[in-house]
Amino acid sequence: MTRARHRTSATPTAKAVNAAKAVNAANADDAVDAAAAELVRAAVLGDLARRVVAQCGVDVGLVGVPEAVPDGGMVLRHWAGTRADLLHDRPVPIGTGLGGRALAERAPTWVPDYRAATTISHDHDAAVTAEGLFAMLTVPLLDATGTVHGVVYASLRDVVPFGDVRISAVGTLVRTATRALEGAARWSRPRKAAPALTPREHEVLRWAATGRTNPEIAAHLGLTCNTVTGYLKSAMHKLGVRNRTELALAARESGLLS
């Protein structure tokens, strides 16, 4: 008699299915956050170019965005007040011209007459001349971590020195824009994977995040205070935090309180 062969079911467990769904949802959320952050970034930098012209008494505002160009550098992606288009979407390798110098040195720099300046290269003179620009100030958007989010140009169609008032006005706009860009950068970072909490740990954590005390949580869930404390300590250990405040923050960042 031939024995019947039994095959093991390949159907995934409910736990595995839920875990896969959670990963897919997290990836989708990360993609949406990244796209939203890019929209914010483009809006901030575009607005910065316009505000430089409107609020700082200059003729042309430009913003270079760090991108992959030969020898490293940026591309002029945002502008306001231009008459020609030779500066539009122009690659600026690091160290070239005034903006490339600001990008390389990570510091503001300016000249009263771009075309006559001896402290910069003149790779972009044709485009600058076509726009009729002379005085120019460039300031990198440098955040506290050392990341350069771009370089802003403030330019005039006259040969004049940049005074403290105008330099200060541009600097204030740059600091404001940089802060907004820092926020967008944090927003677009991939979310941390949620740790595997037990159902009880998760339940106690959710109540603790609302500000309930251990006795209140214990009374609501029908547990002892020591048991609640144990669940919270276990959740803290899994999330790598030291107190209830850090626990609530880490839980939100991990999506456990969604």
Question: DSSP string covering the chain, please?
Answer: -PPPP-PPP-PPPHHHHHHHHHHHHHHHHHHHHHHHHHHHHHHHHHHHHHHHHHHH--SEEEEEEE---TTSEEEEEEEES-SSSTTTT-EEETTSHHHHHHHHHTS-EEES-GGG-SSS--TTHHHHHHTT---EEEEEEE-TTS-EEEEEEEE-SS--PPPHHHHHHHHHHHHHHHHHHHHHHHHTSPPPPPP---HHHHHHHHHHHTT--HHHHHHHHT--HHHHHHHHHHHHHHHT-SSHHHHHHHHHHTTTT-
| pLDDT at residue 81, as a whole number | 97
Q: Is the pLDDT of residue 138 over 50?
A: yes
The region of weakest confidence among 51-60, 83-92, 193-202 is 193-202
Give residues with Cβ within 8 angstroms of 119, minimum separation 6: 101, 111
| pLDDT at residue 147, as a whole number | 86
Give the amino acid at 35.
Answer: A
Q: What is the pLDDT of residues 232-253, one digit of tens each?
A: 999 988 888 888 888 888 787 7
Q: What dihedral angle (degrees, nearest 10) is formed by the CA atoms of 173, 175, 178, 182?
A: -140
The region of weakest confidence among 1-10, 16-25, 170-179 is 1-10
Q: Terminal CA-to-CA distance of the chain, rounded, Å?
A: 58
Residues 227, 218: contact at Cβ < 8 Å? yes
Residues 62, 49: contact at Cβ < 8 Å? yes
Q: What is the pLDDT of residues 167-214, one digit of tens each?
A: 999 999 999 999 888 877 776 555 556 678 898 998 999 898 888 999
| pLDDT at residue 245, as a whole number | 83
What's the mean pLDDT in 133-158?
Answer: 94
| pLDDT at residue 40, as a whole number | 84
Which residues face 80 on adjacent strands? 61
**How much of the chain exceeds pLDDT 90, in percent?**
57
Give residues with Cβ within 8 angstroms of 4, minimum separation 6: none
User: Angle, nearest 10°, between helix axes 244-253 and 199-209?
Assistant: 110
| pLDDT at residue 193, as a whole number | 60
Q: Is the pLDDT of residue 143 over 80?
A: yes
Mean pLDDT of the chain: 85
Residues 76, 100: contact at Cβ < 8 Å? no
Structure confidence at residue 85 as a pLDDT band (50, 70, 90):
very high
| pLDDT at residue 191, as a whole number | 57
Q: Which two tokens stand for residue 140?
A: 């990198």
